[in-house]
Structure 1
Amino acid sequence: MKQLHSLTGIVTLGLLLTLSVTFAPVRPALAQPPLDTPEQLVFRAPEPSPLVNYVTAVLEEAYAELGIPLKYVEMPRQRSLVEANHGRIAGELGRLPGLEQTFSNLRRVDFPLFAFQLVLIADRRECGVCSLDDIENLAYIRGMQGIERLLEQQDYQRPVVQAVDLEQLFLLFDNKRVKAIILNNFEAQELGLRENRHLIEVPFQSDIAYHYLHKNYADLIPKLEVILHRMHDEGRVVELMREHHAASFIRRTFSQPPQFGQVSATAGYWRRYTNLNGTGAYWEIVKRIFGPVSDSLELNANTYQRAILGLTEQRFDILVGSYAGHQPSNAIVSEVHFDYDRPLYAFTLDDEAMAHVKAGTLARPVCHVAGYGYHEFLPKGLSYYHANNSLDCFAMLDKGTRIGAVVNYRENMPDWMDYPYKQWLLHGSLPIHMAFQDTPRGRRLKEWFDVRMRELVASGEIAEIYNTTELERSKFLLSIPPEVRDALQPNP
């Protein structure tokens, strides 16, 4: 497990920030009369994270101009609010706006220091698109006011566990004690949760947080605001973001349907799903999502290799079908999947060849269809041959001279063999996504797809496109309304 990190819930104005600072615990300062220039200010020490370096760098630099060093004391997140309100620590590094309504002794520094988004993390194999209505139970870190407000607004009545810290939250989820967790988007990245393709990130509201000081130090606030705004205007804030590897994360919302003009999509040819004449289940999803918000919709089915090249060269807006992490380097993938693929296998003629595949010592190349990158699922040391279609791979394997193994799906096995191939399961099934150009337009198209794909599933409209078998395979059967599910007819 990666080193765990957290803060009180904040990302700078749409940017994910990363940091790591080691803080020496000190005794909390007792409340005392205000000084013209305090000797030091004491705050709760946030757990080390990439974000903390950015946060503390900005504040320490601003306070340094006032001649005030900062110190940090270890204490729980919820307790720090009480300590700050009583003046036993100087305030809060970053909290949600409106904090002063509950903790009346705290004063807000009017500089939008952080922006963040709450997200729910769950396993899409267990809950489909994983709205709160699909989640049996969940956990979050005690003292996260934004999450508590969200659950109250959503009237979530199912079991909830409050974790002490981010590490405990992770263990609750990793050990399957809870079905989902809610946290900040940058904390999800810190935990490495985005690297698991089966996990889905469901976004909720974005918010901005501010620095707070106890009223004893209210005289510092105007001076501090001037310094922070000047740092922003001079580009120092952005410089610190870059220095600490900031990255954009906040998803935009749609107050009304966008308009994209002409939209083009490409895909490898899959019978029933992306037919050459523009029919098929996957094309139907593209039509329903992007047809109403485009002046014209172009659909192009070809070989998967040419489809990949078309997105890479930015000749198409959308590539239908990619594993997360397998899209071209200049592309991004949707958060919401549109299907799960079938189990993937390696095939050989005999056990000896299969043993060499597993050991990474196979002398002849492994054949797969051009455009797909299966290196991730196989040992290092193997070489590869890219064919136009799966039957070409199997034909060369049968000859036993040019290649030594094939990577493909069982459904694509030829029916001409007199004896069975040896088979090794490479992965059981993975979610497949839409890929988009990593440009402002491409990111907007992706955001619209994620919104509308959730709606297609949550409303049950997806059942007009997928049959029961496909709904089960895609995991969407778990998310469609019960009345739609009950009305489904078994496949013949």
Structure 2
Amino acid sequence: MLTLAATQSARAQPPLVAPEELVFRAPEPSPLTNYVLAVLEEAYAELGIPLKYVEMPRSRSLVEANNGRIAGELGRLHGLEEKYTNLRRVEFPLFAFQLVLIADRRECGVCSLDDIENLAYIRGMQGIENLLKKHDYQRPTVQAVDLEQLYLLFENKRVKAIILNNFEAQQLGLTENRHLIEVPFNSDIAYHYLHKNYADLIPQLEAILNRMHEEGRTVELMREHDASSLPGPHFKAPPEFGEVSATAGYWRRYTNLNGSGAYWEIIKRIFGPVSDELELNANTYQRAILGLSEQRFDILVGSYAGHQPSNAIVSEVHFDYDRPLYAFTLDDEAMERLKAGILKRPVCHVAGYGYHEFLPKGLSYYHANNSLDCFAMLDKGTRIGAVVNYRENMPDWMDYPYKQLPLHGSLPIHMAFQDTPRGRDMKAWFDLRMRKMVASGEIAEIYNAVELERSKFLFSLPPEVRAEVQPDP
């Protein structure tokens, strides 16, 4: 948890005349807002003051707080008092947050503001209004009344993107959709505010909050409510990662054994300048993912979001889209049993991939070294009942066509990193540099026209580069 609290530790004494209660706007429920409520309720309880919450729009609450009709604001951006002059800031940083843009990467690639046709945000979000002004965003915007309306505008495709706090995006489940990209903007700190009528409470409240921080109570409450308040790193200068190692399954043209290939080239351009030594290792995918899991490598090239090892994280920015995935059987009866989850013989796929996510429960699996082994066993008709793979990998020896079942369309594929401070810095550096490689057109030096279209990066290229590489209709 991020806390920048001062070291003041004196126990606060209750005010001479404590108010019977303090009223604030009821926040949208989320792990982070639940944490904020828990911290403030515990702090105010030491002063003998209960808290009460009333429903009202976020934008209205600022006016109500400034006019003294509610007690203040639970957690707001610093500097609020410059415009709302009756509000007083409690000098204790409650949490860090980040403004993020959510959009469908299939429609805008890396989805910078320049790529977005229109967007929505919640009325009264000063940080967002400042952001749009800073970037001189002149395209249409919609101001939603609350988080629910914001979500519906996006879900119903009334707008191409939305901007909100990162914890609100998590609350809405938007970060679980693989096609949605989260584009981070500025990080900031939220503070508690009180109307000037309650200014005499502030020194005592600060003392309590600082003591709670020093005693580890704020961290305990953060964990109890499963909240997170960790801003991403900001690179004022290129980092120095020392020795960097990357691993991948062997994909011809992309991760060749000799270190050539398009995906390796991306790794070289992003991490070569910030490493003393860069090791590239192509192997079977199973060995590659095991190498990341055992922390023998820093980077795994190629993972769906959610399929990385439990001790790893994936990049926010994808580096490509894969092809549609299929299940293959010899006949219709086996296909129906597969769809019902009652196929007796195992489903074969290349080891290391978590394809069971896309199939019914109750099936068993056989993991092979390569896809051709799976198809060879399927053709014999005795050992396995189905194969999961891509159409492009079907063998040339087929005497008759397989029965085919689409399991999913194209999905974004990501880099995976160790879930350590160093790994998180490497992830942040990759996301930053990958966005710049696409926005500048540098990616067109690595990918051909078909690959740029497949990866969705064509949307984000500079117009002059896009005109040069646009695939023929």
Please indicate the TM-score interval, normalised by the length of the shorter structure: over 0.9
Distance 2:472 2:58 in 1: 53
2:148 counterpart SS class: helix
Q: Deviations over 1:47-103 (max 9, x none)?
A: 332223211111111111112111122211111111111111111111111111111
- C-alpha contact (below 8 Å) 1:185/1:249 kept by paired residues: no
Cα pair 2:95 2:229 within 8 Å, conserved? no
Of residues 22, 47, 66 in structure 2, which corresponds to 1:41?
22
CA contact 2:93–2:191 (8 Å) conserved in 1: yes
Which residue in 1 is equivalent to 2:432? 451
Kindly indicate whether the alpha-carbon contact (under 8 Å) linking 2:343 and 2:363 is maintained by their aligned counterparts in 1: yes
User: Counterpart in 1 of 2:372?
Assistant: 391
* Partner Cα separation in structure 2 for residue 353 and residue 68 of structure 1: 67
Q: Please, which runs of 5 or more residues in structure 1 have no aligned partner?
A: 1-10, 15-33
**2:55 matched to 1:84?**
no
Aligned: 1:267 with 2:248: yes
**1:13–1:208 contact (8 Å) kept in structure 2:** no
SS of the residue corresponding to residue 139 of structure 1 reads: strand
Matched, 1:131 2:112: yes
2:360 maps to 379
Deviation track 1:451-472 (CA, whole Å, cap 9, x = no partner) reads 0000110000000000000000
Partner amino acid, structure 2, of 1:382 = L
Residue 303 of structure 1 and its aligned partner are, at CA, apart by: 0.6
- 1:107 alignment partner, SS class: strand
Identical counterparts, % of pairs: 85
Q: How does 1:215-364 map to 2 (within 5 A)?
A: 215-364=196-345
**Which residue does the alignment assign to 2:463?**
482
Structure 2 partner of 1:27: none
Measured in 2, the distance between the counterparts of 1:203 and 1:274 equals: 29
Q: Is 1:102 the equivalent of 2:83? A: yes
Kept in 1: contact 2:2–2:230 (CA 8 A): no
Displaced runs of 4 or more, over 3 A: 11-14, 489-492
Q: Does the alignment pair 1:186 with 2:167?
A: yes
2:405 corresponds to 1:424: yes
RMSD: 1.5
Deviations 1:110-144 (Å, cap 9, x if unpaired)? 11112100000000000000000000000011111
Deviations 1:371-393 (A, max 9, x none): 11100001111110001100000
Amino acid at match of 1:341: D
The residue type paired with residue 334 of structure 1 is: S
For 2:110, the aligned partner's letter is V
1:439 is matched with which residue: 415, 420, 431? Answer: 420
Relative distance call for 1:199 and 1:490 in structure 2 (3 A) is: closer
- Residues 138 and 295 of structure 1: CA distance in aligned 2, closer, same or farther (over 3 Å): same
Pairwise CA distance, 1:204: 0.3
Name which of 472, 480, 488 aligns with 2:453: 472
In 1, Cα distance between the equivalents of 2:355 and 2:438?
Answer: 29
With over 3 angstroms needed to count, the CA separation of the structure-2 counterparts of 1:215 and 1:35, relative to structure 1, is farther
Distance 1:74 1:191 in 2: 19
- TM-score normalized by the length of structure 1: 0.92
TM-score, normalization by structure 2: 0.96
Letter in 1 for 2:344: A
Aligned length: 463
- Structure 1 residues 185 and 127, CA gap change in structure 2 (3 angstroms): same
1:409 aligns with 2:390: yes
Structure 1 residue 198, shift from structure 2 partner: 0.3
2:162, 2:2 → 1: CA distance? 23
2:47 to 40, 58, 66: 66
Question: Whole-Å Cα distance in 1 between the matches of residues 3 and 119 of structure 2?
Answer: 28
Separation in 1 of the partners of 2:143 and 2:332? 51
Please identify, of 38-47 and 378-387, the stretch whose mean Cα deviation from structure 2 is larger.
Answer: 38-47
Amino acid at match of 2:67: H
Letter of the 1:471 partner, please give it.
L
Gaps of 5+ in 2: 5-14
Say which is worse superposed, 186-195 or 46-55, in terms of deviation.
46-55
Q: Which residues in structure 2 correspond to 1:162-201 (within 5 Å)?
A: 162-201=143-182
Among 107, 113, 125, the alignment partner of 2:94 is 113
Kindly indicate whether the alpha-carbon contact (under 8 Å) linking 1:138 and 1:161 is maintained by their aligned counterparts in 2.
yes
Cα shift at 1:490: 4.7
**Partner of residue 55, structure 1:** 36
Offset at 1:431? Answer: 0.3
Q: Secondary structure at the match of 1:310?
A: helix
